[in-house]
Amino acid sequence: MDARREAGMAAMNPGSVHGLGSGVVHGHGLVDRLVQRHGSSAAHNPGLAQRPRPSLAHGPGLAQKPGSNLARRIAHSLALKLAHGQRAGPVQWRCGSASARRAHPVMIFPTLILRAIILWGGILWAAILCATALSAQPTPAPKPDPSFPFSTEIEDFARADEAGPAVRDAVLFLGSSSIRLWNIRSGFPGRPTVNRGFGGATTPDILHYYPRLRPRATPHAVVVYAGENDLAAGAKPDAIARNILTLIGKLRADYPRARIALLSLKPSPIRWTLWPGMTAINRIVSGRARAAGFAYLDVGSVLLAGDGLPDASLFRSDGLHMNDRGYALWNRLVGAWLETEPLRAQPTARRP
């Protein structure tokens, strides 16, 4: 009993422990003297042999004081081991109670880091999976000309020209969707025709693609419908009229012998509020018809009902494009204009 008390006093004596190096050696020598005095093994002291081996985990003072001086705890453990005849080795200590482990920052901080790594790792993995799924979806091929949304339609015209021989002495129909949806082959049987209408086109669009809209062979006549989409897009009537006259001027310069007819803008149920602007455009271009060398055909009046409103029975369900009944009226008006002069064959150009 005296040996253990003296060993504990030596271990707790600040004067005999000066750190993890020399202090332990000094404490070791002191314990050796204590062991020589009271016995060098546990066999000489049955009381010591019957007690469980003390450790920092069982030490009441050490287990409940995680913040105590580390040097004192190491020296204390060495002294107790030497008193029981154990070899002095590296001391492994831990906080004994669960409450001490929870309160100790050395245990809490790595746990928080590990949880944060797992959380952000899961978020990153989910983002990678989403990006992979999106990249796997087929991407639509971009159109060749992103500034103008009709490149595909224009290329279709070019492929149609290359697929067969040039259509000679044809009637060229040029304009927007009112031209594209017009079944001109059945509407004008016996006459060669070329359709160069593309839906949603404005007059600037037609001017932009004009060189690629021209057929391979010189047409006998040209029928134009343009300007309605310009007005729907917010353009002013006078600016629209100028663009239409510019297009007519290009056609007249390229085809000086061809007959050219400009169709008036048509009223429709869905765009009835634009009708005042349409009548202003019709008035401007009709006044320039004789000087510019083209015929102006009023194809809008026949689409009005007795009450002065657009006849809904002549239009499709969208209220914008005409149905077969509406196009039948246009076939009659344009056909009458074409019949005013017999079709004359153009001389075949000799190839060099």
The pLDDT score that the predictor gives to residue 37 is 52
Reply yes or no on whether the pLDDT at 281 is more than 90.
yes
Per-residue pLDDT tens over the stretch 227-239:
999 999 999 999 9
The pLDDT score that the predictor gives to residue 257 is 95
Question: Please, which pLDDT band fits residue 320 given cuts at 50, 70 and 90?
Answer: very high
Reply yes or no on whether the pLDDT at 45 is more than 60.
no
Alpha carbon distance 196, 90 (integer Å)? 94
CATH number for the domain running over 151-339: 3.40.50.1110
The pLDDT score that the predictor gives to residue 143 is 40
Per-residue pLDDT tens over the stretch 97-136:
445 445 455 555 567 777 777 877 778 777 777 666 666 5
**Higher pLDDT pick, 245 / 28:** 245
Sheet strands side by side (includes 295-297): 193-197, 171-175, 221-225, 259-263, 295-297
The pLDDT score that the predictor gives to residue 349 is 42
The pLDDT score that the predictor gives to residue 162 is 81
Global confidence as pTM:
0.57
**Residues 292 and 241: beta-carbon distance below 8 Å:** no
The pLDDT score that the predictor gives to residue 25 is 41
| Domains of the chain, residue spans | 2-96, 101-130, 151-339
Q: What separation in angstroms does the CA of 318 have from each of 25, 234, 268, 312, 323?
A: 101, 20, 10, 10, 10
Task: List CB contacts of 110: < 8 A, sequence separation 6 or more.
Answer: none
The pLDDT score that the predictor gives to residue 235 is 97
